[in-house]
Amino acid sequence: MSALTKRATVYFDPSIHKILKVKALETSRSISDLVNEALLHELSEDAEDLQAFEKRASEPSISFEDLVKGLKADGKI
The residue ranges of every structural domain in the chain are 14-73
For the chain, what percent of residues have pLDDT higher than 90? 91
Q: What is the mean pLDDT of the chain?
A: 94
pLDDT tens per residue across span 34-60: 999 999 999 999 999 999 999 999 999
Angstrom distances, CA of residue 26 to CA of 29, 48, 57 = 8, 31, 44
Say whether 18 sits in a helix, a strand or coil: helix
Rounded distance between C-alpha atoms, residue 67 and residue 42, angstroms: 31
Q: Any idea of the CA torsion for 27, 14, 42, 8, to the nearest 10 degrees?
A: -90
Give the model's pLDDT for residue 4.
Answer: 85
> Which amino acid is it at 21?
K
Give the ranges where 1-77 is alpha helix by DSSP (H).
14-27, 31-55, 64-73
Q: Residue 24: its pLDDT value, please?
A: 98
Using a cut of 0.75, tell me whether the model's pTM lies above it: no
Instruction: Say which residue, 5 or 22, is predicted with more confidence.
Output: 22
